[in-house]
Structure 1
Amino acid sequence: MPPPEDWPARPETALALNRMGSFDWDLGSGRIHLDEQAREVLGVPPETFHGHIDELIGRLPRTDAMRVDGEVARALKDGSEIYGVYYRVRLPGGGLRWTYAQGRIRRDETGRPGRIVGIVRDATEELGHGAPRDVDDDRRHQTTVVETTTAALAHARTVQDVIDFFKDPRAVEYLGSDLLVLGLVDSGRIHLVAEGPSEHFIPGTRYTRIDDNFPMSEVIRTLAPRFIESPEEFATCYPWLYERIRDIGIASAAYLPLIAQGRAIGALGLLYRESRGFTRQERNLFIALGSSLAQAIARAMLFDQEHDLAEGLQQSMLPRRLPDVPGAQIAARYRSARMGRDIGGDWYDAIPLPGGRVGAVIGDVQGHDTHAAAVMGQLRIVLRAYATEGHAPATVMARASVFLHELETDRFATCTYAEADLATGVVHLVRAGHMDPVLRHTDGTCRRLPVSGGLPLGLSAEFGRPDYPVTTMELDPGETLLLFTDGLVEQPGADLDEGMQHLTDLVRKGPYDLDGLADLLCEDVGERLGEDDMALLLLRRHGPATRGGGRLQQHIAPADPEALSAGRHMIRAAVRAWGARERADEIELAADELVTNALLHTDGAAVVTIRMLTGPVRRLRVEVEDRSSALPRRREPGESGVSGRGLMLVDRLADTWGVEPRGSGKSVWCEFVVTDGYREEDRPAD
């Protein structure tokens, strides 16, 4: 006998014949798609269904809705791939139908659930033949209360997380009560931290004393639960409170002490509008609920205490305030990790330096514990000391690496050090395994700033690679340099490039005000959970642009007459272009004396730098740097002496002069006040 024409049956036909439909639930948006057969099984009229999960939950009896919610929450929490649950739905005619839903949970690569795809079928006949239809609703309801609440509080990390759970309007549904109150012991008083629904708050109960005649006070004093089964019992035992809740219609209540380590830390009250007798099983389940809640709150309190202590220790190791640096505005922020209570090793620093310069530091010590914080504190102080001594940026980084290597620790650190000359805008950047900084231009555009880098601090010394390349860039007036640690750009489930793109977009759209921009970046980090702390430093240069190309520099080696001639030519061209013609002879002679002294009295080369310093008074500055640590001294030559006149001439010719240590050497400088005589056509080439 040949098969029928419609053989084999199509999937939708097989599903329809067995009263089975399918659903697709997007957890992020709460949207759920039901096919036609699923809508028929659940009794959902298509014309009134708008595709949101809350519409389905509202069609379930409260106990069934809580059971479904608890089963789904459990499966999402413990990493399950599939779940199944029986429940009843209300039909348009008012009756109830038993159904069964089975869903498979779809998770992303990080394990985060995103969708549930499953089936729903009519289970009326199945339960009618294979299981009793009349289930002990009260018993099931009370058990679900404990399971659902415990599952929800398992995600609470702070006391505020616990409070937020009870402030949620759905909390009374989870707990199966009509109203709830939660109070915590605070400095010998009971602080009412959550009530629901909030419109039923009773004035005068926000703070109460433990010895007051309130049920919450009683359970905290006695460490025993209090069950009130009728309005008469409520009115007799607590007349003041009952007078204020009588209009709400409260007839019974269960007050549970929250006990941790043998002492009461708070109390939970569940209030009902109908009179009810609490069975022994219900009372035992309520006591289990109070114990579970007390553990969650005690754990959250410990977390808050340790987190506050760690954050306070971290903050004490950071600069108490940022220095006021003429010609620049600086803003810095630190935010501890929202996940995890351990202290981090992120830090920032701003270091005023001689000659209108400033050093900006951002760094991150490996690890998240007090040892990382201790290493961070030492490293910050040492790096500041090396910079203040006058060492070049590469030398500062190399010496800091050696210092960290010689500590009795296995930690390394990443770091970026920027030394900015605020007069010229020239910035020297050195990077030790850290992230590239970001530059925001005056028009608001923003870009990642590639900086050559070396190994992290500690590792470069260990592997014998102490050299750190220096990247030079110019920071124009109004431009902002952003230094930060990876906690600012790392986002769960996203790669680093996406985080950097998000950061540059945020900086580009952010406010021009530096503190406002720093606050915006912190708020953005605070909106997402992370296991890393974050530090950032913003440096903005103020003032008009320096005329004449910023600064000019020439390296002069011993016995190199061409380099010496080029240096003199550079000085002569700069003096002419920068409007200092009236003092040209004095400047050229003083510069020549400083270069000659460096070449005669040291064994190495000299670097001569000339630049214009802006401000109320324009000053031209000449610097000659060498590798000798011996400081020059002014001395009077004899009548027939042929030496000793160099510094005398510099002292007579310049308005001021001095010496600065520069790590392995020194810099001798002099300055000349000049009037405005600038001609654009005389500008020297860089």
Structure 2
Amino acid sequence: MSDRGASALSLPADWPTNPDPILALNRMGSFDWDLDSGLFHMDARAHEIFDMPPEEYDGRPESLSARVPPSEAIRLDALVAQAIKDGSENYGAYFRVRRRDGSLCWTHTQGYIRRDGTGRPRRIIGIVRDATEELKDLAVRRDDAARDGALREQTNVVQLTTAALAHARTVRDVIDVLKDTHGLTHLGATSLVMGLVEAGRVRLIAEGPEGSFVPGTLVSRIDEPYPMSEVVRTLTPRFIESPDEFAAGYPVLWPHITDLKITSAAYLPLIVQARPIGAMGLLYGDRRGFTPEERNILVALGSSIAQSLQRAMFYEQEKDIAQGLQQAMLPRTIPSVPGADVAVRYRAATIGGSLGRDIGGDWYDLIPLPGGAPSGGGRVGAVIGDVQGHDTHAAAVMGQLRIVLRAYAAEGHTPAAVMARASVFLDELDTDRFATCLYAEADLSTGVVQVVRAGHIDPLVRDTDGTCRRVPVPGGLPLGLSAEFGSLDYPVTTLELDPGHTLLLLTDGLVEQPGADLDDGLRALTALVAAGPGDVRALADRLIEVAEERGGDDDVALLLLRRRGAETPRPGGRLQQHVAPGDPAALTGARHMIRAAVRAWGARDRADEIELVADELITNALMHTEGAAIVTVRVLNGAAPVLRVEVEDSSSALPRRREAGESGVSGRGLLLVDLLGDGWGVEARGSGKSVWCEFAVERRT
């Protein structure tokens, strides 16, 4: 046994060859616990306290089980494990040791946890001492069984309460932990009072049983004759051991609480970094006096509560700042858009235990655009985006990016140009963040929507019958990254939003879940949208409710845009034909299509004007640009039906009015369009443009 023990006990280089004289004088032993090897080294005095001769000890903590009862060993193991987990530097505990003659004696230990540069615990060094004399008074006042049970119960309450406080995020959470049935009432307290120091006063934030509030104590000065004011003023606990002592010490307060039948009380200052942040009072109705151990336990618990309160106060302050910043960065109001119903929602993430992280870079925006058709229904830009990160910096970057996107869109840039310019701006900003974004430019009079995507998830479209589908949109790199890598090409996807259809733009917090595939999340979302209410506001509320129920560590932004229109859209209200250059048959076919559509849609009286204007637009597109033209004829249903002719080409050069040449041919095209149409204009379409002209027509009966 001795040989084996000697080989196992290879002490560390800094282990003292002689015990500390001060420890020896105080009859204390020391130990060094190597957490890597598991060896538990003790000096000679520690061997005496455990009644374990060195030759019988092999250096393993398990070998002390013959001296430490199982219930005590379990409690000590839990205490040390919790201290390591919480990042504590030290711990202390009383426990019993069974000596060779079978008698139990009280022992006290204190340990200091040493960690390496990464925070990993490597060693625990500490002391053990015989606490029999120290606890003799307690043994006299209570029998052994009651004493052991009470100490274990109090220790367990401290451990449970401290562990619960570690999860408290707000001041209300701290109070709820203390009032919980597993909280301080297990220490025998009848009720709890607590106050916070604010501007030289103590403000009551929690009071005892219902109906026990004392008038005039909601806010009290620190110099007033109240126990909480006193402990804040003196930074010293106040233990009141009898009703007579209470009445004599606080004659102003005592008459108001005599009905509570209080027999003793403990008032503790809540101190953090030598500064009082508040005070706590425990009121008892069935006890008198406090033992030294009970006082020590309560003081230690008060220190833990003070730390939790300060953490909660910091959290609430940062949360207020973060929420204020978030609200300032998002649009205060959403403009009314002719021809559309719009709903927007934002839900902040909830990340437990992290101050200021209930904020992120998700945002939405709705931008009225110039150049809308006068026949009802405006042009609008819809934006959804997500800046990397969950902090105030992400929110600040989001605010700047939102303003820039809004400015570029309002200037009339094409969707692809808006996205490319925003990426360059973010790359030149003093930040290392990038952002995903989706920008949709919608003409609500025609239902044409041009979409560009920068690393963001695809939009959804819900039809009038409730079915919902994902719309695949080719995309580019996220904003900031595309500029950094010189890849600023953003393809434009054009889709049709018919009357009654709803466009849904969202951030990934609504679909992503840990361990789940994004495509599965999108499929689940489309099913949820299909089953949801038809009203966009009610649907948005439903989606946010689901996000709240599910929780998650990412914020959510949502924008829904529903195009208004007639209850029963005119069937066959849109025709389209591709006309290639040098293809007379295709040009003839387009003219026939226009003539048939004009007559079928009740515009026979204006057939010649419409055909002439359409022919001019097609001819100009083929003569003055390179590539084909796409001709579209549609009916816009509204209070006054309108027939619209659009000719789209691949050139970004805008048409100009000119005086007719000497031959009277060149330059007459736009003059005819302006003279014969009821309104005309030019719209950007990806890398090209669309020239349109509208004609008011009679509604068919």
**Which one of the candidate residues 452, 456, 471 is aligned to 1:430?**
452
**Which one of the candidate residues 624, 627, 647 is aligned to 1:624?**
647
Q: How does 1:640-651 map to 2 (within 5 A)?
A: 640-651=663-674
Give distance in 1, aligned partners of 2:433 and 2:461: 30
Q: With structure 1 as the length reference, what TM-score do the two structures score?
A: 0.72
Give distance in 2, aligned partners of 1:186 and 1:660: 61
Query: Which structure's CA Rg is the greater one?
Result: 2
Equivalenced residue count is 564
Give 5+ residue unaligned stretches, structure 2: 1-70, 88-94, 96-143
**Preserved contact between residue 184 and residue 265 of structure 1 (Cα < 8 Å):** yes
Say if 2:174 is the partner of 1:162: yes
Corresponding letter in the other structure for 2:315: F
Gap change, CA 1:454 and 1:633, over 3 Å in 2: closer
* Aligned equivalent of 2:584: 561
* Aligned equivalent of 1:36: none
Give distance in 1, aligned partners of 2:81 and 2:460: 42
Partner SS, residue 323 of structure 2? helix
Q: With structure 2 as the length reference, what TM-score do the two structures score?
A: 0.71
Say if 2:593 is the partner of 1:582: no
Once the two structures are superposed, residues 366-405 of structure 1 have per-residue CA deviations (whole angstroms, 9 ceiling, x without a partner) of 2234443344334333433443444554454445445545
* Aligned equivalent of 2:405: 383
* Aligned equivalent of 1:365: 387
Give distance in 1, aligned partners of 2:532 and 2:200: 46
Q: How does 1:9-158 map to 2 (within 5 A)?
A: 74=82, 135-158=147-170
**Preserved contact between residue 145 and residue 176 of structure 1 (Cα < 8 Å):** no
Give distance in 1, aligned partners of 2:178 and 2:522: 37
**Which one of the candidate residues 198, 209, 214 is aligned to 2:220?**
209
**Preserved contact between residue 190 and residue 284 of structure 2 (Cα < 8 Å):** yes
- CA-CA distance at 1:273 after TM superposition: 0.7
Give distance in 1, aligned partners of 2:498 and 2:665: 46
* Aligned equivalent of 1:670: 693
* Aligned equivalent of 1:199: 210
**Preserved contact between residue 210 and residue 218 of structure 1 (Cα < 8 Å):** no
* Aligned equivalent of 1:122: none
* Aligned equivalent of 2:287: 275
Say if 2:598 is the partner of 1:598: no
- CA-CA distance at 1:439 after TM superposition: 3.8
**Preserved contact between residue 203 and residue 220 of structure 2 (Cα < 8 Å):** no
Greater Cα shift, 245-254 or 368-377 = 368-377
Say if 2:333 is the partner of 1:304: no
Give distance in 1, aligned partners of 2:562 and 2:689: 28
* Aligned equivalent of 1:485: 507
Say if 2:439 is the partner of 1:417: yes
Give distance in 2, aligned partners of 1:461 and 1:551: 39
Gap change, CA 1:551 and 1:375, over 3 Å in 2: farther
Once the two structures are superposed, residues 109-151 of structure 1 have per-residue CA deviations (whole angstroms, 9 ceiling, x without a partner) of xxxxxxxxxxxxxxxxxxxxxxx86654444444333322221
**Preserved contact between residue 436 and residue 450 of structure 1 (Cα < 8 Å):** yes
Gap change, CA 1:159 and 1:577, over 3 Å in 2: farther
**Preserved contact between residue 190 and residue 208 of structure 1 (Cα < 8 Å):** yes
Gap change, CA 1:181 and 1:491, over 3 Å in 2: farther
**Preserved contact between residue 171 and residue 312 of structure 2 (Cα < 8 Å):** yes
Give distance in 2, aligned partners of 1:284 and 1:402: 62
Partner SS, residue 385 of structure 2? strand
Corresponding letter in the other structure for 1:254: A
* Aligned equivalent of 2:244: 232
Give distance in 1, aligned partners of 2:535 and 2:583: 50
**Preserved contact between residue 157 and residue 184 of structure 2 (Cα < 8 Å):** no
Q: How does 1:347-358 map to 2 (within 5 A)?
A: 347-353=363-369, 354-355=372-373, 356-358=378-380
**Which one of the candidate residues 550, 559, 565 is aligned to 1:543?**
565
Once the two structures are superposed, residues 500-543 of structure 1 have per-residue CA deviations (whole angstroms, 9 ceiling, x without a partner) of 46645654555544334434433443445533222111222222
Give distance in 1, aligned partners of 2:535 and 2:246: 59
Say if 2:345 is the partner of 1:333: yes
Give distance in 1, aligned partners of 2:164 and 2:335: 47
Say if 2:533 is the partner of 1:533: no
Once the two structures are superposed, residues 208-255 of structure 1 have per-residue CA deviations (whole angstroms, 9 ceiling, x without a partner) of 222544322332333332221111222333345434433332211111
Gap change, CA 1:369 and 1:626, over 3 Å in 2: same
Once the two structures are superposed, residues 2-55 of structure 1 have per-residue CA deviations (whole angstroms, 9 ceiling, x without a partner) of xxxxxxxxxxxxxxxxxxxxxxxxxxxxxxxxxxxxxxxxxxxxxxxxxxxxxx
Partner SS, residue 199 of structure 1? coil
Gap change, CA 1:634 and 1:382, over 3 Å in 2: same
| Alignment RMSD (CA, Å) | 3.8
Say if 2:308 is the partner of 1:285: no
Give distance in 2, aligned partners of 1:193 and 1:498: 47
* Aligned equivalent of 1:294: 306
Once the two structures are superposed, residues 389-437 of structure 1 have per-residue CA deviations (whole angstroms, 9 ceiling, x without a partner) of 4455445444544554555654332222233332343444433332233
Once the two structures are superposed, residues 246-265 of structure 1 have per-residue CA deviations (whole angstroms, 9 ceiling, x without a partner) of 33322111111222344332
* Aligned equivalent of 2:362: 346
**Preserved contact between residue 480 and residue 538 of structure 1 (Cα < 8 Å):** yes
**Which one of the candidate residues 252, 259, 273 is aligned to 1:247?**
259
**Preserved contact between residue 149 and residue 174 of structure 1 (Cα < 8 Å):** no
Greater Cα shift, 637-646 or 316-325 = 637-646
Gap change, CA 1:191 and 1:487, over 3 Å in 2: farther
- CA-CA distance at 1:675 after TM superposition: 0.9
Corresponding letter in the other structure for 1:349: D
**Preserved contact between residue 207 and residue 213 of structure 2 (Cα < 8 Å):** no
Greater Cα shift, 615-624 or 136-145 = 136-145
Say if 2:687 is the partner of 1:658: no
Greater Cα shift, 162-171 or 581-590 = 162-171
- CA-CA distance at 1:631 after TM superposition: 4.0
**Preserved contact between residue 449 and residue 495 of structure 2 (Cα < 8 Å):** yes
Gap change, CA 1:246 and 1:526, over 3 Å in 2: farther
* Aligned equivalent of 1:177: 189
Q: Percent identity?
A: 68
Partner SS, residue 277 of structure 2? strand
Gap change, CA 1:232 and 1:310, over 3 Å in 2: same
Give distance in 2, aligned partners of 1:169 and 1:616: 67
Give distance in 1, aligned partners of 2:292 and 2:145: 24
- CA-CA distance at 1:495 after TM superposition: 5.1
**Preserved contact between residue 264 and residue 285 of structure 2 (Cα < 8 Å):** yes
* Aligned equivalent of 2:272: 260
- CA-CA distance at 1:181 after TM superposition: 1.9
Partner SS, residue 547 of structure 1? coil
- CA-CA distance at 1:325 after TM superposition: 0.6
Say if 2:590 is the partner of 1:570: no
**Preserved contact between residue 141 and residue 176 of structure 1 (Cα < 8 Å):** no
Partner SS, residue 236 of structure 2? coil
Give distance in 2, aligned partners of 1:431 and 1:193: 50
Gap change, CA 1:655 and 1:512, over 3 Å in 2: closer
Give distance in 1, aligned partners of 2:574 and 2:627: 23
**Preserved contact between residue 224 and residue 256 of structure 1 (Cα < 8 Å):** yes
Give distance in 2, aligned partners of 1:362 and 1:496: 18
Give distance in 2, aligned partners of 1:501 and 1:167: 45
Greater Cα shift, 521-530 or 283-292 = 521-530
Corresponding letter in the other structure for 2:215: G
Greater Cα shift, 143-152 or 417-426 = 417-426
* Aligned equivalent of 2:104: none
**Preserved contact between residue 417 and residue 431 of structure 1 (Cα < 8 Å):** yes
**Preserved contact between residue 365 and residue 402 of structure 2 (Cα < 8 Å):** yes
